[in-house]
């Protein structure tokens, strides 16, 4: 059985018994880096230094839950600064 992870462009394998956690889609480091327009090294740095939520599999590989990443982005989002015109020096 395969699940399509929404618009993330990844097809993920569901557990063989069909059990899934609703809304819990795990994607690879490469897929998330591509989506966020980062290199895999930049993404690993966010995991290491900025507490980007992730799941470490028993074999040491890392996956990311879409819902957790979306929430982390919302929590770390900063408002866009309002444009303040700079007066020309006289």
Instruction: Look up the CATH number of the domain holding residue 44.
Output: 1.10.10
Provide the whole-model pTM: 0.63
pLDDT of the chain along its 90 residues, tens only? 334 444 444 444 444 444 455 557 899 999 999 999 999 999 999 999 999 999 999 999 999 998 999 999 999 888 887 776 777 655
Establish if 56 belongs to a structural domain.
Answer: yes
Encoded tokens for 53: 């939520």
Establish if 86 belongs to a structural domain.
Answer: no
Concatenated DSSP letters for 44-87? Answer: HHHHHHH----EE-TTS-EEEEHHHHHHHHHHH--PPPPP-PPP
Q: Provide the residue range defining the domain that includes 46.
A: 23-76
């Amino acid at each position: 059985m395969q699940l399509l992870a929404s618009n993330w462009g990844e097809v993920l394998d569901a557990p063989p018994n069909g059990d899934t956690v609703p809304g819990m889609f795990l994607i690879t480091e490469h897929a998330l880096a591509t989506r966020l327009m980062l290199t895999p090294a930049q993404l690993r740095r966010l995991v290491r230094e900025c507490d980007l939520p992730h799941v470490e599999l028993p074999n040491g590989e890392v996956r990311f839950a879409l819902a957790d990443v979306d929430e982390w982005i919302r929590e770390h989002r900063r408002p866009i600064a309002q444009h303040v015109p700079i007066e020309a020096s006289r």
